[in-house]
Amino acid sequence: MRTLKLSPARSSDIDAIAEIHVAGWQVDHGILQDSILDGLRVSERAVLWADWIFGPGVHTVVAEVDEQVVGFVRLCPAHPIADPAPDAIEITHLYVHPSWQRDGKGTALLERAVDLAGEDQYARLILWVHEANRIARRFYERFGFSPDGARRTDPGFLENDAAEVRYCLSVIRPAA
């Protein structure tokens, strides 16, 4: 029986995280332009992840099966543009490699993200999801997230103007 292990990401996980990130985007043809998705490179994402994986208030957690990284989640304090509330933490990335999806790994990562938000004393957990990504939206809604009416586009990101909607979840903080 294969056991799922969640642990803080290490520098040695950067290449696997970059590969999963690109694979996750490339499976979503139809949301972004195919030419953008086909142009994504793991090596370029790895350079970005070398900066993103750690930092003040950042949690990057990997999901491993048989010592192979199959998914990850990244949280960081919400940027004032993403959510001006000081008590919000943001899930900036949650990906499970497409070949490992649909058997609870994403849910386990999301549960860990909620736990970390509570441990860090945040009251709100937010994330942004492409409006057209019905599968991801249903996943977050089943978990209890709900859209709060905020909407944005980010034309500078991957040269796209696909609309994103913000989802929120109230976090239960552990008793002191």
Taking the model in full, what pTM does it have?
0.90
Residue 116 lies in domain: 4-170
Is residue 176 domain-resident? no
Would you write out the chain's pLDDT as a tens digit for each of its 176 residues?
589 999 999 999 999 999 999 888 777 656 666 767 776 888 988 999 999 999 999 999 999 999 999 999 999 998 777 667 778 999 999 999 999 988 899 999 999 999 999 999 999 999 999 888 898 999 999 999 999 999 988 655 556 677 889 999 998 766 65
pLDDT value, residue 15: 97
pLDDT value, residue 41: 82
Which residues, in sequence order, are CB contacts of 111 under 8 Å at separation 6+?
A: none
pLDDT value, residue 130: 86
- Give which of 172, 162, 128, 160 is closest to 147, Cα–Cα: 128
Distance separating alpha carbons of residues 43 and 18, to the nearest angstrom: 8
Beta strands in 43-99, from DSSP E residues, in sequence order: 59-65, 68-77, 88-96
Distance separating alpha carbons of residues 156 and 114, to the nearest angstrom: 29
Number of structural domains the chain divides into:
1
Is residue 102 domain-resident? yes
CATH code for the domain in which residue 13 is found: 3.40.630.30
Neighbours of 171 (CB within 10 A): 22
